[in-house]
Structure 1
Amino acid sequence: MNTSTAQPIKNWVLGLTGGIGCGKSAVSAMFEQLGITVVDADIIARQVVAPNSNGLAAISEHFGTTVLNPDGSLNRAKLREIIFADNAQKTWLNNLLHPLIREKTLNDLSTANSAYVVLVAPLLFENGLEQYCDRTLIIDVPVAVQLERTIARDNINEQQALSIIAAQMSREEKLHRADDVVDNNQPLALVAIVIQQLHTQYLTLAAKK
């Protein structure tokens, strides 16, 4: 629940989160099908370093053209290699990107014209983004299901998947902090029914803002 003094957003905002492999994309698509605008933090993170963006220009000026692909896009693997080897460079990059991402996120949340707006962010709580939300929803599955889905989707081994899950806020902590929970370890048709019910509640809450 939003009780902070963060920049006011005219729209009622639902923060949607969950660990890797929990099915956030499938659920956010259900909200879109109901006519609700979805703002995805991961997509924004890519947009702020897209070709011809100020973010990418600053990165290439700082790190040199070795972090660019031949087509002028960001060579993410090369940049990742640099920042993992040098914590100061990682800090510099975060100081550049986080304000850009936050500014675009807040702008997109404020300019959405649906009845309310959904902010999808895997690190919603970790990055303090819940302060911009009126309510939060976690998409939940057991860790074993997270592992299975992540290994299949990303073509990685179990140890790599476990490392990614361990780096995120624990499932228990997210469940404790979220206002609403959707069990996504069931057929999507049943999940869609739950989302429709929540949508009805959110419409009522949004109308009061």
Structure 2
Amino acid sequence: MSNFIVGLSGGIGSGKTTVSDLFQRSGISVVDADIIARNVVKKGSDALTLIVNHFGQEYLTQESELDRAKLRTRIFSNESDKTWLNNLLHPLIRQQIIAALKQAPSEYCLLVAPLLLENQLEKLVDRVLIVDVNEATQIQRTLLRDSSNESEIQAIINSQISRKLRLQAADDIINNDNVSFDELAESVAKLHQKYLKMSQNVNK
């Protein structure tokens, strides 16, 4: 088990996946909160049954899986629905995150969570790493990646913690605005060495 955990976060479209992939290439275990969140509501799960009972059959796809886009649109426009869903899912997700962190074999491990700070998951980590870009970059990258429109992306940005508060909570920051892939990889490599030393001190 890794005794040293780095929480990696950043706003939508900041490049968290690219950064976590670079750490993974160095042999670091990555626990992805988004993947765990998807597994919690997978086809046939108890959580999915409860969601369908609450919201209705129309929130299932033809394959009997959760229609995530449709549900996301609904909860962004309805605070009570969002609260209900969070109260159901957050304890389940947190439980599985803790189990996965305990099983991570590398010298330190990475917890990747877009809502690390919003969901108070920073309490599970020793250090917070933020991937930072400006809002215009977030919108531009997400438009290229997703089928969302600009107003939906803006709503997601508004629902997340502000850039200012995110940076205030950071122990380390990677700037991913107007940098090349090689420059990004260099930033990750430096932090990797730093975290290895920190984890060795913890594990002594």
- Quick check: TM above 0.5? yes
From 107, 113, 126, the counterpart of 1:121? 113
1:203 corresponds to: 196
Determine whether 1:177 maps to 2:173: no
Partners of 1:159 and 1:62 in 2: CA distance: 27
Partners of 1:10 and 1:16 in 2: CA distance: 15
The one-character-per-residue Cα deviations of 1:6-55 (angstroms, maximum 9, x if unpaired) are xxx86311000111111101000001100011111111111100112222
Distance 1:29 1:160, change over 3 A: same
Letter in 1 for 2:6: L
Partners of 1:89 and 1:191 in 2: CA distance: 38
Q: In angstroms, what is the RMSD of aligned CA positions?
A: 2.2
From 74, 85, 92, the counterpart of 1:93? 85
Determine whether 1:60 maps to 2:52: yes
The 5-angstrom pairing of residues 12-161 of structure 1 reads: 12-80=4-72, 83=75, 87-161=79-153
3-state SS of paired residue (2:84): helix
Query: How many Å apart are 1:179 and its aligned residue?
Result: 0.2
Number of equivalent positions: 201
Distance 1:47 1:160, change over 3 A: same
Contact 1:11 1:109 in 2 (8 A): no
3-state SS of paired residue (2:115): coil
Partners of 2:54 and 2:101 in 1: CA distance: 30
Query: How many Å apart are 1:81 and its aligned residue?
Result: 6.0
Structure 1: stretches of 5+ with no match in the other structure: 1-8
Partners of 1:157 and 1:81 in 2: CA distance: 12
Contact 1:40 1:120 in 2 (8 A): yes
Distance 1:140 1:84, change over 3 A: closer
Query: How many Å apart are 1:62 and its aligned residue?
Result: 4.2
Contact 1:136 1:180 in 2 (8 A): yes
The one-character-per-residue Cα deviations of 1:74-118 (angstroms, maximum 9, x if unpaired) are 133454466567654443322211111000011111111111110
2:157 corresponds to: 165
Query: Moved runs in structure 1, 4+ residues, more than 6 A?
Result: none
Q: State the identity as a percent.
A: 48
3-state SS of paired residue (1:208): helix
Distance 1:151 1:131, change over 3 A: same
Partners of 1:86 and 1:149 in 2: CA distance: 26
Query: How many Å apart are 1:171 and its aligned residue?
Result: 1.2
Structure 2: stretches of 5+ with no match in the other structure: none
Partners of 1:64 and 1:136 in 2: CA distance: 38
3-state SS of paired residue (1:175): helix
Query: How many Å apart are 1:145 and its aligned residue?
Result: 1.7
Query: How many Å apart are 1:189 and its aligned residue?
Result: 0.5
2:185 corresponds to: 192
Partners of 1:182 and 1:14 in 2: CA distance: 13
